[in-house]
Amino acid sequence: MKKKKDINAHITEHNSIIKRMTDEIKKVIIGQDAIIEKVLIGLFSKGHIIIEGMPGLAKTLLLKTLSQIIHTSFNRIQFTPDLLPADLIGTRIYDRRTGKFYTRKGPIFANLILADEINRAPAKVQSALLEAMEEKQVTIGDETFKLDEPFMVMATQNPIESEGTYRLPEAQVDRFMLKIKIGYPSFDDEHEIINRMTTGRGIKVKTITTPDEILRIREIVDNIYVDELIKKYILNIVFATRKMGSNGVGIEEHIEYGASPRASIYLTTTAKAHAFINSRSHVMPEDVAATAFEVLRHRIILTYEAEAGGVSTDELIKRLFEKVEVP
C-alpha cells in the first residue's frame, strides 16, 4: 500500500464505504450534508471534533447515529455541572473484603466518545477530557492506561452563554481538529423532518463498518500524496493569520493571535481525507479550502476591537482565501 501506484486501487476499494455510511446516516439525519461530510473527515483524519450549534439541531442525534453505524464501543457522556473528573476517567476503589484497591475505568474507555454539552461541566472535568484526548492515555491513581484506537471524541457545545455554563476557552478548543458549526435546516429539509420524525416509529440504522476498517482507511489517507506546492499553499494561508511573517493580506489588524502549527498539520491531514472522500490519491487546493473554516475558526484569536466591532473569524478566513494565491 505504501507504493503510490496501488494506492488508487485501495481508494476505490474502500471509498464506496463513504457513500454507504453517508446514506445510512441520512436515513436519520435530514439535510446537513456538509456537516456529515466534515464529521467523516474528522473520523478519517484521526481528529477530535466539536460541533457547535443551537439546541435542537440534531447534534446529539447525528453523533449517536454515526456511532451506531460503526460496530464499536461508544459512550455518551452528558456533561453536567456536578460531573467530576473521576466520573469521566475512572477511579480507584477499595474492596474491603479483599483489602485491595482495584481500578474502575470510566466511560472514556471507548472508541467513540460523545461529550455532550461539554460547556455544562466545570473546567476540571473539561481538562481531564482534553488531556485524555491529547495523550490518548489516562492515569488513574498511579496506573496509566492506554486508550483504544481508534479513539475519537465528538463534543457538542451550545453557543448561548447561560448561567452555569463554562464555554471552552479558545485555547482549549485548539485540541479539537475541527470546530463544526451547525445551522438551521432549510425549509424543505425541515418539512421532511416533520414527515419522518412524527410517525411514532423509530428509525433503525445498520452497522456499516468496523473499527478495523476505520483504521485501514486512516492508513490509506496517510498515504495520500501532498505536493510541495500544496504544502507551501497551506503555509501561506496559516502564516497570513499571523502578524509576524504574514505577507500582508490585510486581516492581520483584526488578529491578536494567529493560528498555531496545529492548523498547518490539520489543514494537511483533513485535506488528505477530503481527497480520499473524493476518490483522489493526491491533494488539490480545493481540498485545503474544504475544511478551512473548521480548522481555522477556533485557532484565530481576534483583537478586542475586532470582536467588539462584530468581525467574525469566518469572515476573516473567507477574506484570507480570496487573497492567498493558489499554486
Ligand X SMILES: Nc1ncnc2c1ncn2[C@@H]1O[C@H](COP(=O)(O)OP(=O)(O)O)[C@@H](O)[C@H]1O
Q: How far apart are CA 104 and CA 107, in angstroms?
A: 10
What residues are paired with 74 via a beta bridge?
A: 112
Regarding 282 and contact with other proteins (CB under 8 A), the answer is yes
Regarding 283 and contact with other proteins (CB under 8 A), the answer is yes
Question: Where does 26-141 have alpha helices with state H?
Answer: 33-44, 59-69, 85-89, 123-135
61 binds, among Mg ion, other proteins, ligand X, none (CB under 5 to 8 A by kind): ligand X
What residues are paired with 104 via a beta bridge?
A: 91
30 binds, among Mg ion, other proteins, ligand X, none (CB under 5 to 8 A by kind): ligand X
193 binds, among other proteins, Mg ion, ligand X, none (CB under 5 to 8 A by kind): ligand X
- Interaction pattern, residues 239-268, with other proteins; x per rule: CB under 8 A: ------------------------------
Regarding 324 and contact with other proteins (CB under 8 A), the answer is yes
CB of 5 vs other proteins, minimal distance in Å: 11
DSSP secondary structure of 156-181: EE--S--TT--PPPHHHHTTSSEEEE
> Could you tell me if 17 and 208 are in contact, meaning their C-beta atoms sit under 8 angstroms apart?
yes
CB of 269 vs other proteins, minimal distance in Å: 16
The strand pair at 49-52 and 178-181 is best described as: parallel
Cell of 135: 495523550
Is the Cβ of residue 27 or residue 323 nearer to other proteins in the bound state?
323
Is the Cβ of residue 144 or residue 279 nearer to other proteins in the bound state?
279
Regarding 230 and contact with other proteins (CB under 8 A), the answer is yes
The footprint of Mg ion on residues 57-96 (CB under 5 A) is 60
> Could you tell me if 215 and 290 are in contact, meaning their C-beta atoms sit under 8 angstroms apart?
no
Task: Choose which of 59, 167, 175, 299 interacts with ligand X (CB under 6 A).
Answer: 59
* Coil, strand or helix at 151: coil
285 binds, among Mg ion, other proteins, ligand X, none (CB under 5 to 8 A by kind): other proteins
Task: Choose which of 196, 285, 312, 318 interacts with other proteins (CB under 8 A).
Answer: 285
Is the Cβ of residue 50 or residue 292 nearer to ligand X in the bound state?
50
Regarding 229 and contact with other proteins (CB under 8 A), the answer is yes
Per the listing, cell 485540541 goes with: 175
286 binds, among Mg ion, other proteins, ligand X, none (CB under 5 to 8 A by kind): other proteins
Closest CA to 247 of 239, 255, 235: 239
Q: How far apart are CA 302 and CA 324, in angstroms?
A: 20
Q: How far apart are CA 293 and CA 290, in angstroms?
A: 8
CB of 297 vs ligand X, minimal distance in Å: 19
What does each C-alpha distance from 256 to 176, 267, 293 come to in angstroms?
20, 21, 18
Piece of the chain touching ligand X by CB under 6 A; list 37-45, 59-67, 228-236, 240-248: 59-67
Q: How far apart are CA 143 and CA 52, in angstroms?
A: 34
Quote the distance between the C-alpha of residue 234 and its chain's center. 19
32 binds, among other proteins, ligand X, Mg ion, none (CB under 5 to 8 A by kind): ligand X
Is the Cβ of residue 57 or residue 302 nearer to ligand X in the bound state?
57
- Contacts with ligand X by CB under 6 A lie at 29-32, 53, 55-61, 156, 185, 193, 197
Which residues make up the interface to other proteins (CB under 8 A)? 225, 227, 229-230, 280-286, 289, 321-327
